[in-house]
Amino acid sequence: MKITYHGHSCIQVSHQGKSVIIDPFLTGNALAKAKPEEIEVQYVLLTHAHGDHISDALTIAKRNNATVVATHELATYMGWQGVKVHGMNLGGAYEFDFGTVKMTQAFHSSAIVLDDEQKIIYGGMPGGFLVTMGGKTLYHLGDTSLFSDLKMIGERNTIDIAFVPIGDNFTMGPEDALQASEWVGAKLTVPVHYNTFPVIKQNPEAFVHGLESRGLRGKVMTVGEELEI
């Protein structure tokens, strides 16, 4: 499994010619290096409907004729915009041609905000993804607060790498994220959803040091960095 970090919460996962991108937010992200026109994938996974997680989903899906995977409501909306979709819901799993995807719960909100129209479109429940590909399992927690069922998810799955939000304000902050990481128990934990905006400014190196003090292995991935697990 090859993993590319595109900044914020955007992760690309590839194995044997198949590639999946989670929460593409490149346009409008000053820290992103890749452009949506450069992304080659067959699937686009969306944890929830906020703009900093779906902003490039349609561009990438249309250009690649890729399938958008999201909760039923968000998938339906994306389908209305002219892309292929696969709707799921929390707790459900599905075997795709690249591997298995299971949706987990997350405690957050989910809506498309149309500022010009002062309109909010409900996006279904927020979630996370357990993605198994090439014999490895990746856990993208999505945007979430701390909740105790993360311990159950960790106990029931052998997780090779977890992407945990640490930004605070909108999601867990570092202290809660350390507890979440303990419960998830991944072989490697990577912080995400920080420093993109001033309100979520954090020190990822300090977070990784906190992981190590608890006997966990952590890594700060720079934007554009690739990792093989």
pLDDT given at position 210 = 98
pLDDT given at position 194 = 98
pLDDT given at position 229 = 95
pLDDT given at position 176 = 98
pLDDT given at position 205 = 98
> Which domains are assigned to the chain?
2-228 (3.60.15.10)
pLDDT given at position 110 = 98
pLDDT given at position 189 = 98
121 and 77 Cβ atoms separated by less than 8 Å: yes
Average pLDDT by stretches of 10, the chain with 229 residues: 98 98 97 97 98 98 98 98 98 98 98 96 98 98 98 98 98 98 98 98 98 98 97
| HEC-encoded secondary structure of the chain | CEEEECCCCCEEEEECCEEEEECCCCCCCCCCCCCHHHCCCCEEECCCCCHHHHCCHHHHHHHHCCEEEEEHHHHHHHHHCCCEEEEECCCCEEECCCCEEEEEECCCCCEEEECCCCEEEECCCCEEEEEEECCEEEEECCCCCCCCHHHHHHHHCCCCEEEEECCCCCCCCHHHHHHHHHHHCCCEEEEECCCCCHHHCCCHHHHHHHHHHCCCCECCCCCCCEEEC
Q: pTM above the 0.95 mark?
A: yes
Please provide residue 102's backbone torsions phi and psi, each rounded to the nearest 5 degrees.
Answer: -125, 130
**Strands across the sheet containing 43-45:** 84-88, 67-71, 43-45, 18-22, 11-15, 2-5, 226-228
